[in-house]
Chain A
Amino acid sequence: MKDLTPILKTLWKSKTGPFLLVIQIAVAFTILINVGHMAINKWHEINKPSGLDEAHLFTFTANLPVEPDSYQARLEQDFADILELASVESVNATNSVPLTSWGLGLALNRTESDESYISYAGVYSMSSNFVETLGLEVIMGRKFDDAEMRLSSDDYMIKSTTAMVTKALAEKISPEDWTQTVGKTIYINGRPYQIVGIVNELIATWPAWWGNKRSIIFPVLTLTNESKFMVRAHPGQLQQAMEEVHTLLMRQPGRIIDKYHPFSHTRETGYKPMISSLVILIAVTIGLMVVTMLGTFGQARFAILRRKRQIGIRRALGASKWQIVRYYILENMVITSFGILLGVICAILLNVKLMDFFDLLSVPGEYFLVGAAVILVAGQFAVIPPALSAANISPASATRSV
Chain B
Amino acid sequence: MLLYYFKLAMLSIRKTPLLSFLMIATIAIGIAATMITYTVNYMMTQDPVPGKSDRLFTVHLSSWDPNVGYRMKDGKEDIPIFMTYQDATNLYTDQRAHKQTIISFHKAMVRSAAQPRGQATMTYLRPTTHEFFSMLNVPFLYGSPWDASDDSQGSQIVVLSKKKNEQLFQGENSLGREVVIGGLIYRVVGVLDEWLPLPRFYTERSDSYSEPRGLFVPFQSSINNDWLSGTDGSVYCWGGADLIDLNALKASECVWLFYWVELASAELRDDYLAYINRYAQEQKALGRFQREQMNRVMNVAEFIEYNEVVNKDGRIAVWLAMAFLIACLLNTMSLMMTKFHGKGAEVGLRRAVGASKVDIARQFFCETVIIGLAGGAIGLVLALLGLYVTSEVYSHLHAGLMEMNLSLMLLTIGSSVLASTVFGLYPIYKACQIQPSSQLKSL
Give the interface of A toward B (CB within 8 A).
16-17, 20-21, 23-24, 27-28, 30-31, 34-35, 38, 61, 68, 101-102, 107, 114, 153-155, 158, 189-190, 224-226, 228, 256, 258, 269, 272-273, 276-277, 279-280, 284, 287-288, 290-292, 294-295, 298-299, 301-303, 305-306, 354, 358, 360, 402
Min C-beta distance of A21 to chain B, whole Å: 6
- The segment from B140-148, B286-294, B323-331 that touches chain A is B323-331
Beta-carbon nearest neighbor of B316 in chain A: A358
A276 CB contacts on chain B under 8 angstroms: 393-394, 396
Which A residues are in CB contact (< 8 Å) with B326?
27
CB within 8 Å of A: which B311-347 residues? 312-313, 315-317, 320-321, 323-324, 326-328, 330-331, 333-335, 337-339, 341-342
Question: 11 A-B contacts, Cβ less than 8 Å apart?
Answer: A16-B426, A20-B330, A24-B331, A114-B69, A154-B241, A154-B242, A155-B237, A272-B395, A291-B331, A292-B331, A294-B331
CB pair B320 A284 closer than 8 Å: yes
Give B contacts to A, CB under 8 Å: 18-19, 22, 25-26, 29-30, 33, 67-69, 72, 107, 109, 122, 206, 228-231, 237, 240-245, 312-313, 315-317, 320-321, 323-324, 326-328, 330-331, 333-335, 337-339, 341-342, 390, 393-396, 426, 430, 442
Q: Are B341 and A273 in contact (CB under 8 A)?
A: no
Determine the distance from Cα of A402 to Cα of B394 in the docked complex, in whole angstroms.
57
Contact between B30 and A291, CB atoms less than 8 A apart: yes
Known: A20-B333, A226-B231. A291 touches B396 (CB 8 A): no
Q: With A and B bound together, what is the CA distance between A114 and B68 in angstroms? A: 9
- Given A27-B327, A298-B22, A153 and B242 touching (CB < 8 A)? yes
Q: Contact between B317 and A302 (Cβ–Cβ < 8 Å)?
A: no
| Alpha-carbon separation in the docked complex, A105 to B429 (Å) | 61
Residues of B within 8 A of A107 (CB): 72
Question: What does DSSP make chain B's interface, helix, strand, loop or mixed?
Answer: helix
Q: How far is the CB of A302 from chain B (nearest CB, A)?
A: 4
| B237 engages A298 (CB within 8 Å) | no
The residues of A that contact B241 with a CB separation of less than 8 Å are 154
Q: How far is the CA of A186 from the CA of B338 in the complex (A)?
A: 70
Contact yes or no, A298 B338, CB < 8 A:
yes
Taking a contact as CB atoms under 8 Å apart, the answer to whether A61 and B330 are in contact is: no
A258 CA to B230 CA, complexed, in Å:
13
Which residues does chain A contribute within 8 Å of B206, judged by CB atoms?
A: 101
User: How many interface contacts (CB-CB < 8 Å) are there between A and B?
Assistant: 136
Q: Is the CB of B230 within 8 A of A24?
A: no
Q: What is the minimal beta-carbon distance from B92 to any residue of chain A, in angstroms?
A: 25
A295 pairs with B331, CB closer than 8 A: yes
Q: How far is the CB of B363 from chain A (nearest CB, A)?
A: 20
| Chain B residues near A27 (CB-CB < 8 A) | 323-324, 326-327, 330
> Which residue from chain B places its CB closest to the CB of A359 in the assembled complex?
B312
Known contacts A107-B72, A256-B109, A291-B26; is-contact A277 B313 (Cβ 8 Å): yes
B227 CB to closest chain A CB (Å) equals: 11
A residues in contact with B338, CB < 8 Å? 17, 298-299, 302-303, 306
Is the pair A298, B231 in contact by a Cβ cutoff of 8 Å? no
Which single residue of chain B is at the shortest CB-CB distance from A27?
B327
Q: A28 and B312 in contact (CB under 8 A), knowing A153-B243, A280-B317, A295-B334?
A: no
A27-B327, A256-B122, A295-B26 are contacts. A226–B230 as well, Cβ < 8 Å? yes
- Asked if B334 and A17 make an inter-chain contact with CB atoms under 8 angstroms apart, the answer reads yes
B244, A269: Cβ atoms under 8 Å? no
Residue contact B29 to A28, C-beta cutoff 8 Å: no
